[in-house]
Amino acid sequence: MDNKIPKRNEVPEELTWNLSDIYKTNEDWENDYESAKKEADELQVAEGKFALTADSLYDFLKGYESCISKIYKLYGYAEMKRDQDTADAENQKLYARAQSLDVFISEKLSFVEPEILNLEEGKIEDYYKQNEKLKYFKCLLDEIIRTKEHTLSKEMEMLLASAGDMAESMQNAFSSLAYADLKFPDTHDEKGNVIQLTNGRFVPLQMSENREVRKEAFEKFYERYKSFANTWASLYDGQVKKQIFYAKARKYKSSYEAAVDRNNVSTTVCDNLINCVNKNLDKMHKYVKLRKKLLGYDELHMYDVYASMVSDYKCKVSFEEAKAISLEALKPLGDDYIKVLKEAYDNRWIDVVENEGKRGGAYSSGVYGVHPYVLLNWSDTLDDVFTLVHEMGHSMHTYYSNKAQSFFDSNYKIFVAEVASTTNEVLLLKYLLDKATSDKERAYLINHFLESFKGTLYRQTMFAEFEKESNKMAEEGTPLTADTLSGLYMNLNKKYFGEEMISDPLIAYEWCRIPHFYYNFYVYQYATSFSASVAIADRILKEGQKIVDDYKRFLRSGCTSDPVSLLKIAGVDLSTETPVQEALNVFEEYIELLFVEK
């Protein structure tokens, strides 16, 4: 691990994404910016009359589609520019302008949904008969009608839209503090060298074989977060209050109900997940006991969570090697799938390595009419290979959906967004297990699979419980302070990891660093998607082409039905606990298998 983090302009071009595929010049971005503003002004003129006839509604929605798609494109470009270097003032300015434009246009067009909902019952169906072309917007219109009881008057919708800039302040402040302003003390690597501790380096250091390296990094990292605990609590409290405000304004019973309804999913799905995982915490505790035994410790601490239980096997993977592995592992998904992956690798769809100011973690971002992009922070680990196929799964879902659907119909719900990514991870794991040439390698990979269950199915469900309980606390009048949030988090940590784990006091502050807590009940979908993906990948490998065809039909479906129904195309029913329970049974099987391997 090199001590120096490169500046953005020091990163080789081939390891950066090519955002000029979206806008070749700043002038092109400015032209679209002005064009979107102009289109919004022109659309606003139609207020009160755009839905009077089938033809006028169709013509209006075509212009509406053009305007909104420009906003997505402008915003996506600006967000990626910001994330590649969050300390760059020009990038920050561009992103702020995109946010402001989004709010401006939301205000201008806030009359659209209320006016459509004011049409008498059955009018839209009559319009479809009068103008067949209007069915192009059927999914959009169906979604508007579905949320009728939560849509307000034109004046109230405009008021809520005008609060958009303010509403994003907590998330923006979190990103600036966590990724640009927060500086960590130096720590030591396995060779005793002094190195700079960063968000990007924290997890790789936690994977070190040297326990003292892990302990030092853990304590310095979380002490730094703890020193700003009151600030993090204020930010999160503001985020929760925002969610509660919007939920109340839209006549939901709770912020939880409002969040899941946004994806056209019942609260039952998340409740099923939490209930099922809680009924199976014995399996997680069994895993923790196995970890303690294989590591050979009298006490297991939170800084031992990422250490490999199979420490005598080395696995370092370069980005070039990872690309080659991914192309082989994902072959079961077909030649067309592999062809697009190669295009992504050859044409700079991916921003690969960490640089100063770069956003931590990884993500995929879709730009309709262009192609998806992926942000990584590569560190040559096996985890990075899994992250690559995970994010490319997102990108391929976006690619297939964008190619098959119109702009509005392509925008699949967040609930299904993690399915394609985690299906890729399971396919990679099974490929690597099949290719393993030694018992040590097999044990190492089984360890990784168990880590996926621990990190995704259990950890993300724990996060979901934290969100659900903290929102409930706020709704019941309990102040969300650093103490109350840390106490809640510590209790959940003890429950999930069990008595065999020492829940070190500093782990109580882990909630401070989780960006997904600003995404409004996002995380539970990682766990439901992981459960679905275990089943889908297994069927792909066992049943072949028919299942691959069904799976791709799911990928191409965008938001043309509700998420639970779409997943049924791929053979998974998340309205029940069955997929979660079956995945947890697989987890237990692999725990037993690792006992045998070792």
Average pLDDT, integer, range 130-139 = 97
Residue 535 sits at φ, ψ, to 5 deg, of -70, -45
Structural tokens at position 130: 């009068």
* Model pTM score: 0.80
How confident is the model at residue 162, as a pLDDT? 87
Catalytic residue ranges: 391
Q: For the domain 183-227, what is the CATH superfamily, name and number? A: putative peptidase helix hairpin domain like (1.10.287.830)
Task: Say yes or no to pLDDT of 587 above 90.
Answer: yes
Task: Say yes or no to pLDDT of 446 above 50.
Answer: yes
Contacts of 482 (CB under 8 A, 6+ apart): 229, 230, 232, 233
- Fold type of domain 229-335+382-598: Neurolysin; domain 3 (1.10.1370)
Q: What is the pLDDT of residues 504-542, one digit of tens each?
A: 999 999 999 999 999 999 899 989 989 999 989 988 999
Q: For the domain 8-167, what is the CATH superfamily, name and number? A: Oligopeptidase f, N-terminal domain (1.20.140.70)
- Least confident range from 14-18, 443-447, 481-485: namely 443-447
- Cα angle for residues 200, 204, 205 (degrees, 5° grid): 105
Q: How many residues does the chain have?
A: 598
| Element holding 113 (H helix, E strand) | helix 112-117
Structural tokens at position 27: 């002038």
Give percent of the chain above pLDDT 70.
98
CA distances from residue 313 to 310, 316, 317, 340, 395 in whole angstroms, order as listed: 6, 10, 13, 33, 32
How confident is the model at residue 259, as a pLDDT? 93
How confident is the model at residue 308, as a pLDDT? 85
Give alpha helix (H) positions in 14-88.
26-44, 54-84
Domain spans, the chain:
8-167, 183-227, 229-335+382-598
How many angstroms from the chain centroid is the CA of residue 127? 38
Closest CA to 313 of 452, 207, 427: 207
Pairing of strands 501-502, 300-301: parallel
